[in-house]
């Protein structure tokens, strides 16, 4: 009975890469689930060109979510557009004002992959009662200095 549940992969990928795929998609799935993003709502994917970002983009678009993706690299804009991003923002550290130019009341959710270095700005992009989920630290900083919930979290 167990043999029917085992599939031999036909792939050119290394075992390391192949093993990372379920972990990446599971993390993306769990992050989107935590945000409770639904079809027709708008999500910012901050750090969208990472493997986790691309997985989340794929899952969000499959769900019918409008996605605003960010990248620091202008040459990666077409990659994000080809993968379903409705808007792409070049991230120079501050994106909230630009995002609110697209969605004036703020977005329903932000999947923050850069981390604490951009988290305050991501909080400014979300609508009241919107959700920001910090799932990665691409910014290589793990400490959120001087966090003041009553100031930093929108209401």
Domains of the chain, first to last: 39-104+125-140+148-155 (3.40.50.720)
Q: What is the pTM of this model?
A: 0.87
Between residues 153 and 44, the one the model is more confident about? 44
Report how far residue 73's alpha carbon sits from residue 71's, in angstroms, rounded to the nearest whole number.
5
Q: Measured between alpha carbons, how far is 8 from 48 in angstroms, rounded to an integer?
A: 31
CB 61 within 8 A of CB 67: yes
Query: Percentage of the chain surpassing pLDDT 70?
Result: 97
Contacts of 147 (CB under 8 A, 6+ apart): none
What are the tens digits of pLDDT across the range 21-70? 888 999 999 999 999 999 999 999 999 999 999 999 999 999 999 999 99
Between 58 and 15, the more confident residue is 58
């Amino acid at each position: 009975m167990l043999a029917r549940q085992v599939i031999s992969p036909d792939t050119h990928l290394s075992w390391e890469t192949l093993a990372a795929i379920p972990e990446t998609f599971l993390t993306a799935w769990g992050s989107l689930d935590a945000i409770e993003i639904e079809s027709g709502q708008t999500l910012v994917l901050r750090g969208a060109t990472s493997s986790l970002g691309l997985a989340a983009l794929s899952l969000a678009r499959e769900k019918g979510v409008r996605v605003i993706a960010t990248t620091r690299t202008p040459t990666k804009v077409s990659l994000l557009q080809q993968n379903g991003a409705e808007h792409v923002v070049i991230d120079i550290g501050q994106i909230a004002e630009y995002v609110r130019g697209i969605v004036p009341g703020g977005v329903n959710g932000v999947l923050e992959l850069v981390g604490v270095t951009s988290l305050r700005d991501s909080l400014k992009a979300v609508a009241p009662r919107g959700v920001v989920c910090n799932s990665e630290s691409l910014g290589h900083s793990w400490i959120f200095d001087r966090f003041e919930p009553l100031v930093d979290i929108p209401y």
